[in-house]
Structure 1
């Protein structure tokens, strides 16, 4: 999946940045060698004569270590570590989103297949009814308008099939792209699915704190806030001097004198850099960091509130759709019973054609609405998975039950 690859690349980038920042707390070692051939100007060293051509060299090894007395490096590492955690949370969010979208696409394909199956069954039943009506008309037990009405209802039911086929194919194309395939590369077995997936066990929602810990977007916003807070410390450290301990050892001289005692050199001492009295840039950086932290805090609050809203909404919609689905299933069962009873009465001439036609129409409508509700339940479960932040699909009851 392309979204997962993007998230993985962003995570690798933040890890690389962290390695770069952590290098600052380790000693730095540099080595340089500059061998040359030429002639020095005698006047440059106070000699009036012309100096002969000779080989020269200049080489040294330098070691430096920055003292983190005011927390500049430590706070920078904290900020980048928070960035790494935020990138990991973003990767987790991408995984949860892709999983939910894939589940939704699979559920839509199966639900469309189920609705198509139900619609085809309604067409088949209406076809039988239309054939029976035609036979009754031929035997003189009905009139031509009965035949027209039965055929009109049959054509109306057939008109429901093409949109369902289009919906099924669209869901299959979406599923293929989510799994990293071209649209035509969807799994053929999914195209034959006619049973929408459903979660039959209880959903372990947990309390609000567990929800907030589980939601990747909340963790991402919290780590972004931590990173912004750490960068205040980085900016504050600019008000204080930057102290570096350094040492170097090497040699310089003529090639002919290489290794002689008078060619060696060394140095040892601190390097102190301090922008005084001009600290306006440091104060500006502190103000920028404070403003960024205030924005990150506001974003964190908004993400938390949105997570709670999405969860409450998803639970409410799912619970009410379960109630509706139960009522629709009961209505479908009663409509099926009424249709069977009316069909028998019509077959033996105990009721009129319109009563039989209305009973079949009611049953077809009830079957269609129930199939749509089953499809909506599958979509609501995918949305609930996304709202809960994922992770609960591997939950196991305590005590080894289940």
Structure 2
């Protein structure tokens, strides 16, 4: 249990970013209290892709050995034409990738990653995890912070990190903005591997792309399950029905994917249809720090999924924030200022790039598709120019600090 004489850092939100931040702060021998609104720590959703900029952080936090036991190490990232069924381009994720970036590319179940991080926090004497805490108020006064939960609980500490996701309450301390609906929805699910119709190497990550749609497939949980994500733009979306279930329906999914190749059609037949995920991001903001309060992860910079960088950027945040706490010791305000000075331009670029790549892969014009496919078909699987700025960050950042 936490030593009450040590005023803890308070992390609002116990998702992947919040738990990683707690482990980072604990690395500096300071106490952390993680406040999670759910009744237990856990993750929903299906698979997650972690590029080297994320696995570099997980190596640093000491959890990669556990992740290696449950993750899959794909050989290639493959772009396919959802209609013709032809391969457009691929990226080698093997030894060349690992040597270039200092860490592997892995895919795994979100809940497996979250469990590894939660168990690492539970066993850390500097970290306390608290559930059923929906934070409704946060303030700073005389070098101390206080948060109040909806059940009346008060938590005092030395600083606050808002890690409460896309619909963040902590973000409201800095800006009165709203999540931006992309008009795309996702349907997710994982099926037993033995039910998969074989195509190519099932260790690969496949992304089937077409106008206003794509399908992502890859194995998780030691290769026992096959994760599938179906994404499409809904023509039935309106601002008035945004928060209803009347757009992006399973019936619309079937219509939009009609005419795709047999392997894509087969995948659609297996997808779970009970729950849909509308896809949101927010516009970048130019400040997320005030005194001893700051944001990280989706609370600071929610992004669309097209670069598979959401969790990766949260893990980058956790690592860089930790570096600044090491550098500045008890000067938390300066640590937070330098943290956001580095992270705001970086994450704004990734947010904007994710939007742009969404437009590229979902292109609807003949000219745009021809230009895209010509560029993709001309590159080799050892050409890393499109991903260097994303996947190579942590190796470079760590080398510059050290």
Q: What TM-score does the superposition give when structure 1 sets the normalisation length?
A: 0.27
Structure index of larger Rg: 1
